[in-house]
């Protein structure tokens, strides 16, 4: 079975104090759940300020990630405001790369994203590459070409396939409370999988869905067996809800 991942994207939320509080609640729940299966990874991506504090209280069955790293290739230097993969590598195993909020608000290009992917793998951070179309592109039925183009451009020169995770996140579903229809998500994920198979020659890269995932819609999304997990924003900020999602997934995946 391909590896399964449930990833919390806390975005620019929670003071350090609140991050610790929420993480402690999640820790308690994760111990109750008694995860022992290496095939399921629960990953918490906080903002940088909380990363070290969470690392200091971390437990075996909750992994940590950051939400971005610089596209610059230098590990240190005169780059005001930037954070390199090298600077976070001791605290996290994962980084979200190319989230649509960054692509749109901060004009990140596919080329920048390819540079970030390279920096991640240089220091053994597993990248979670986000791709997804906006509403206009979907309405024009151009969504599959658009997303496959994002994928291939972002992965130019990439070779470390065993580290890569991909998240399909349609922009119109993020933060709206309205997720992608399961069949539409399935169609896109199959297209991404076939492209990844061509590029990498492996069928083992986990492909996740993200965009308004909640405990009420997760089972419909993952039932098809095509989707290897979820990247979860607002529902991951409430430990009760996040672990409800985890519970549902575990029973469907039987892990």
Give residues in contact with ligand PGA (CB under 6 A): 9, 169, 174-175, 210-213, 231-235
Closer to ligand PGA by Cβ: residue 12 or 201: 12
Closer to ligand PGA by Cβ: residue 162 or 181: 181
* Least distance in angstroms from the C-beta of 128 to ligand PGA: 10
Cβ-closest position to ligand PGA: 233
* Least distance in angstroms from the C-beta of 80 to ligand PGA: 27
* Least distance in angstroms from the C-beta of 117 to ligand PGA: 18
Task: Tell me if 237 sits within 8 A of 10, measured CB to CB.
Answer: yes
Q: Does 47 qualify as catalytic in the annotation?
A: no
Neighbours of 170 (CB within 10 A): 26
Q: Annotated catalytic residue: which of 108, 115, 169, 226?
A: 169
Residues 192 and 196: their CA atoms lie apart, in Å, by 6
DSSP annotation string for the chain: ---EEEEEE--S---HHHHHHHHHHHHHHHHHHT---TTEEEEEE--HHHHHHHHHT--TTSEEEES---S---SSSS-TT---HHHHTTT-SEEEES-HHHHHHS---HHHHHHHHHHHHHTTPEEEEEE---HHHHHTT-HHHHHHHHHHHHTTT---GGG-EEEE--GGGTTTS-PPPHHHHHHHHHHHHHHHHHHHS-S---EEEESS--TTTHHHHHTTS---EEEESGGGSSHHHHHHHHHHHHHHHT-
Q: Does 99 qualify as catalytic in the annotation?
A: yes
* Least distance in angstroms from the C-beta of 44 to ligand PGA: 13
Q: Annotated catalytic residue: which of 99, 115, 133, 226?
A: 99
Q: Pairing mode, if any, of strands 94-97 and 40-45?
A: unpaired
- The residues carrying an active-site annotation are 99, 169
């Amino acid at each position: 079975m391909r590896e399964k991942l449930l990833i919390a994207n806390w975005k620019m939320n929670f003071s350090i104090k609140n991050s610790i509080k929420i993480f402690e609640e999640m820790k308690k729940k994760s111990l109750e759940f008694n995860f022992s299966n290496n095939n399921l990874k629960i990953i918490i991506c906080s903002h940088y300020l909380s990363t070290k504090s969470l690392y200091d209280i971390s437990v075996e069955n909750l992994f940590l990630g950051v939400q971005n790293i610089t596209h610059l290739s230098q590990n240190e230097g005169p780059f005001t405001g930037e954070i390199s993969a090298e600077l976070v590598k001791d605290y996290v195993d994962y980084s979200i790369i190319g989230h649509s909020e960054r692509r749109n608000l901060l004009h990140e290009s596919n080329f920048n994203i390819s540079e970030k992917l390279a920096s991640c793998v240089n220091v053994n951070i597993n990248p979670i590459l986000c791709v997804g179309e906006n509403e206009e592109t979907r309405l024009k039925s151009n969504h599959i070409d658009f997303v496959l183009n994002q994928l291939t451009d972002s992965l130019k020169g990439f070779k470390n396939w065993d580290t890569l995770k991909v998240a399909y996140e349609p922009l119109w579903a993020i933060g709206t409370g309205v997720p992608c229809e399961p069949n539409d998500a399935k169609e896109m994920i199959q297209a991404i999988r076939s492209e990844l198979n061509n590029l990498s020659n492996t069928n083992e890269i986990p492909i996740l869905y993200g965009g308004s995932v909640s405990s009420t819609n997760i089972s419909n999304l993952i039932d098809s067996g095509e989707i290897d997990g979820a990247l979860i924003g607002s529902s991951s900020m409430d430990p009760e809800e996040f672990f409800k999602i985890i519970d549902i997934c575990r029973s469907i995946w039987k892990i």
